[in-house]
């Protein structure tokens, strides 16, 4: 967009933004949604000092849809810019570079990612429920994990060409489905929301293009649905890979390289500590003793001193800000005003964000900052060779990962289900490929009708969960729909139901990309089960309405038992 167009947009939105900011400053409240005279819908949400506005004018999106997009955009920005998002001034410069061409590039990147998310949410069950779907083939998965370890991570990290880059996570995708994932020993754990965001980025970079698939895969459309998809014989060299330009849309391998991963971990820990401290000081807590506000202040002091000594040259301003903070934080309480300490805390936090930018965001957003092209090409070739024999099988498997046929014998009347392990952020569901000429749901309108039922049930389940309900069963015409959320301990014993918090309409939408609701829910439930490992699960089912209710409920329990029994697919 041109500067003139940007100015006109800013002028149009200025009254709304000024009004929101003024209300927030005067009464600590502001608009969450507005409907104009011409029925345009505006959703407003403020993250720190940044105000997000989503607009719809044709009635195709609800308040929940727009609010979900805002939170997903926030997640995308967090992933793209990392810890810089903790400092509003630095983030503004990243989102609005002075150079017009670079600014267009940044926003084009964000726009593309949001459009890719919107498409996947409408078409892909894993993005509908915001959980990762694994390709189910334990033996191949295990060999691919070993391959990622030895021939990708270790080979790259031992290469002289890697410069300061270090690969800590790597994974293989077939379309949006995860075949294998490996993390090095010194890597921090990757949250389900982060992995899902990385899958979104990979899909945006190499979108699935079914026109490029091989004739063997296209033959799926002209063959009846069968229970088994046969795989080639395993060889000791089986691995994973990314194919050339014509096939990258179908199969991809990603390796998340970072320079000095130990620096990244320490920066994250320090910034997290100063963010917590800043929040407590901002709340107006009396200064008293600093250790009363932040009990781990002695440990923070030690870690910060050690870190400043370790980072070397780019530390002068950070060291100056840290000395100022120490002088105020560890002096007599009656000699320092809380507002002065708050500002000193923010200065340290800002300097840590600048250091993070120097280490990890040296190039503008959208530009490649990763391994050398030569090293990537070498690894790419190795991976291609290892997985070439599996290409057609994997592409077929990605379409028919789980089939309903294998469940119909044990569960007559069951039409569809989605089972989600919210602890690890993974899901299992029969495939819904309504674009194919032949599917388990039949042809044409029926398949689309069932798909719409599934999408509607997920939305309804979320709305009831937002109100604190964990069980929902209802008859919908010729169908019977169920939604369950429950908790278990590590042995699979179902734990008692508790009263869940009721969320306001303007709260973060329930999901993984939109604020990690389930992670917070696990923490909430775990307060009274501190000695146990708590797990959270969801199940959504659609049955034929002629099945008696008691059989439907029993089948739901049996489906979960059947899904729980198979040997676990290795992940790490």
Q: Is the pLDDT at 257 greater than 60, yes or no?
A: no
| Cβ count within 10 A of residue 243 | 20
The rounded distance, in Å, linking the Cα atoms of 432 and 440 is: 8
Residue 441 lies in a domain: yes
Q: Is the pLDDT at 3 greater than 80, yes or no?
A: no
Say whether both 415 and 303 belong to one domain.
Answer: no
Helix or strand holding residue 251 (H, E): strand 251-259
Sign of the alpha-carbon dihedral angle for 269, 162, 193, 528: negative
Claim: this prediction has a pTM higher than 0.75: yes
pLDDT at residue 334, as a whole number: 63
Domain boundary among 123, 151, 186: 123
Say whether both 304 and 413 belong to one domain.
Answer: no
pLDDT at residue 119, as a whole number: 95
Q: Is the pLDDT at 511 greater than 60, yes or no?
A: yes
Say whether both 324 and 445 belong to one domain.
Answer: no
Beta bridge partners of residue 165, listed in sequence order: 259
More confident residue, 361 or 234: 361
The rounded distance, in Å, linking the Cα atoms of 82 and 198 is: 13
Q: Are 174 and 250 in contact (CB under 8 A)?
A: yes
Say whether both 534 and 451 belong to one domain.
Answer: yes
User: Checking DSSP bridges between strand 426-428 and strand 414-421, what pairing results, if any?
Assistant: antiparallel
Question: Taking all residues of the chain, what is their mean pLDDT, rounded to a whole number?
Answer: 81
More confident residue, 202 or 22: 202
Say whether both 500 and 413 belong to one domain.
Answer: yes
The rounded distance, in Å, linking the Cα atoms of 361 and 347 is: 20
**pLDDT tens readout for residues 180-211:** 999 888 788 889 999 999 999 999 988 876 55
Say whether both 546 and 411 belong to one domain.
Answer: yes
Residue 429 lies in a domain: yes
Q: Are 513 and 196 in contact (CB under 8 A)?
A: yes
Q: Is the pLDDT at 212 greater than 80, yes or no?
A: no
pLDDT at residue 252, as a whole number: 53
Residue 189 lies in a domain: no
Which range marks the domain in which residue 266 is found? 262-361
**Packing angle, helices 297-311 and 316-329, rounded to 10:** 160
Residue 390 lies in a domain: no
Mean pLDDT of 134-150: 88
pLDDT band at 225 (very low <50, low <70, confident <90, very high): very low
Tell me 50's DSSP state: E
Say whether both 333 and 456 belong to one domain.
Answer: no
Query: Tokens 């949006």 label which residue?
Result: 176
The rounded distance, in Å, linking the Cα atoms of 380 and 372 is: 12
User: Checking DSSP bridges between strand 41-47 and strand 479-488, what pairing results, if any?
Assistant: unpaired
Tell me 468's DSSP state: T
Say whether both 288 and 426 belong to one domain.
Answer: no
Q: Which of 50, 24, 19 is nearest to 34 (CA)?
A: 19
Q: Are 176 and 427 in contact (CB under 8 A)?
A: no
User: Checking DSSP bridges between strand 251-259 and strand 414-421, what pairing results, if any?
Assistant: unpaired
Q: Is the pLDDT at 566 greater than 60, yes or no?
A: no
Domain boundary among 123, 153, 171: 123
Mean pLDDT of 111-124: 95
Task: Kindly state the tokens that stand for 88.
Answer: 């509003």
Q: Are 492 and 564 in contact (CB under 8 A)?
A: yes
Domain boundary among 123, 150, 171: 123
With 0-12 / 13-18 / 19 or more C-beta atoms within 10 angstroms meaning exposed / middle / buried, residue 409 is exposed
Residue 11 lies in a domain: no
Q: Is the pLDDT at 240 greater than 50, yes or no?
A: no
Q: How many residues does the chain have?
A: 572
Residue 150 lies in a domain: no
Say whether both 101 and 36 belong to one domain.
Answer: yes
Say whether both 423 and 557 belong to one domain.
Answer: yes
| Cβ count within 10 A of residue 108 | 12
The rounded distance, in Å, linking the Cα atoms of 125 and 432 is: 8
Residue 156 lies in a domain: no
User: Checking DSSP bridges between strand 426-428 and strand 132-133, what pairing results, if any?
Assistant: parallel
Radius of gyration (Cα) for the chain, nearest Å? Answer: 26
More confident residue, 89 or 418: 418
Q: Is the pLDDT at 536 greater than 70, yes or no?
A: yes
Residue 298 lies in a domain: yes
pLDDT at residue 207, as a whole number: 86
Query: Into how many domains does the chain fold?
Result: 3
Helix or strand holding residue 407 (H, E): helix 405-408
**pLDDT tens readout for residues 388-417:** 888 888 888 888 888 888 888 889 999 999
Helix or strand holding residue 293 (H, E): helix 290-293
Mean pLDDT of 224-228: 43
Say whether both 481 and 347 belong to one domain.
Answer: no
The rounded distance, in Å, linking the Cα atoms of 307 and 100 is: 37
Q: Which of 167, 319, 320, 321 is nearest to 254 (CA)?
A: 167
Say whether both 564 and 487 belong to one domain.
Answer: yes
Counts of helices then strands in the chain (DSSP H, E): 20, 12
Q: How many CA atoms lie within 13 A of 131 on its CB side?
A: 24
Task: Kindly state the tokens that stand for 417.
Answer: 């289900």
| Cβ count within 10 A of residue 441 | 21
Return the minimum-mean-pLDDT range out of 179-183, 334-338, 460-464, 546-550. 334-338
Residue 34, classed as helix, strand or coil, is strand
Lateral strand order in the sheet of 165-174: 177-183, 165-174, 251-259
The rounded distance, in Å, linking the Cα atoms of 527 and 539 is: 24
């Amino acid at each position: 967009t041109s500067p003139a167009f940007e100015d006109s947009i800013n002028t149009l939105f200025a009254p709304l933004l000024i009004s929101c900011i003024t209300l927030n400053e005067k009464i600590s409240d502001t608009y969450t949604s507005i409907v104009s005279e011409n029925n345009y819908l505006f959703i407003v949400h403020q993250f720190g000092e940044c105000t997000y506005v989503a607009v719809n004018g044709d009635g195709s999106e609800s308040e929940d849809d727009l609010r979900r997009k805002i939170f997903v955009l926030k997640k995308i920005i967090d992933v793209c810019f990392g810890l810089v998002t903790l400092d509003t001034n630095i983030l503004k410069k990243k989102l609005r570079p002075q150079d017009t061409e670079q600014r267009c590039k940044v926003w084009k990147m964000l726009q593309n990612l949001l459009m890719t998310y919107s498409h996947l949410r409408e078409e892909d069950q894993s993005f509908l429920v915001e959980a990762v779907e694994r390709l189910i083939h334990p033996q191949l998965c295990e060999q691919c994990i070993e391959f990622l370890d030895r021939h990708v991570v270790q080979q790259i990290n031992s290469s002289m060409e890697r410069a300061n880059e270090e690969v800590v996570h790597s994974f293989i995708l077939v379309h949006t489905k995860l075949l294998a994932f490996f993390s090095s020993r010194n890597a921090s754990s990757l949250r389900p929301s982060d992995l899902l965001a990385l899958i979104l980025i990979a899909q945006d970079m190499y979108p699935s293009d079914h026109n490029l698939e091989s004739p063997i895969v296209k033959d799926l459309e002209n063959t009846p649905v069968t229970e088994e998809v046969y795989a080639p014989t395993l060889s000791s060299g089986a691995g994973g890979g990314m194919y050339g330009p014509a096939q990258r849309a179908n199969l991809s391998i990603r390796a998340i390289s970072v320079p000095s991963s130990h620096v990244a971990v320490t920066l994250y820990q320090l910034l997290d500590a100063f963010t917590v401290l800043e929040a407590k000081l901002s709340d107006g807590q009396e200064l008293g003793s600093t250790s009363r506000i932040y009990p781990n202040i002695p440990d923070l002091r030690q870690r910060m001193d050690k870190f400043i000594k370790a980072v070397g040259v780019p530390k002068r301003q950070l060291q100056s800000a840290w000395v100022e903070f120490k002088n105020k934080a560890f002096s007599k309480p009656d000699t320092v005003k809380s507002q002065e300490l708050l500002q000193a805390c923010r200065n340290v936090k800002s300097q840590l964000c600048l250091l993070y930018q120097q280490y990890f965001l040296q190039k503008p957003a959208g530009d490649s900052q990763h391994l050398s092209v030569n090293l990537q090409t070498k690894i790419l070739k190795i991976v291609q060779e290892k997985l070439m024999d599996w290409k057609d099988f994997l592409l077929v498997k990605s379409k028919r990962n789980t089939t309903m046929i294998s469940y119909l014998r044990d569960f007559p009347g069951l039409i569809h289900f989605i089972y989600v392990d919210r602890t690890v952020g993974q899901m299992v569901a029969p495939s819904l490929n309504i674009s194919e000429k032949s599917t388990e749901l039949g042809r044409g309108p029926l398949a689309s009708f069932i798909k719409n039922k599934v999408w509607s049930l997920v939305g309804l389940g979320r709305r009831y969960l937002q109100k604190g309900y964990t069980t929902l069963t209802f008859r919908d015409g010729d169908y019977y729909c169920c939604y369950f959320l429950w908790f278990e301990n590590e042995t699979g014993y179902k734990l008692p139901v508790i009263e869940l918090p009721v969320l306001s309409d303007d709260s973060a939408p329930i999901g993984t990309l939109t604020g990690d609701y389930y992670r917070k829910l696990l923490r909430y439930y775990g307060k009274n089960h501190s000695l146990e490992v708590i797990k959270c699960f969801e199940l959504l089912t659609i049955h034929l309405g002629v099945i008696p209710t008691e059989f439907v409920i029993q089948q739901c329990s049996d489906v979960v038992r059947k899904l729980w029994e198979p040997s676990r697919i290795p992940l790490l």
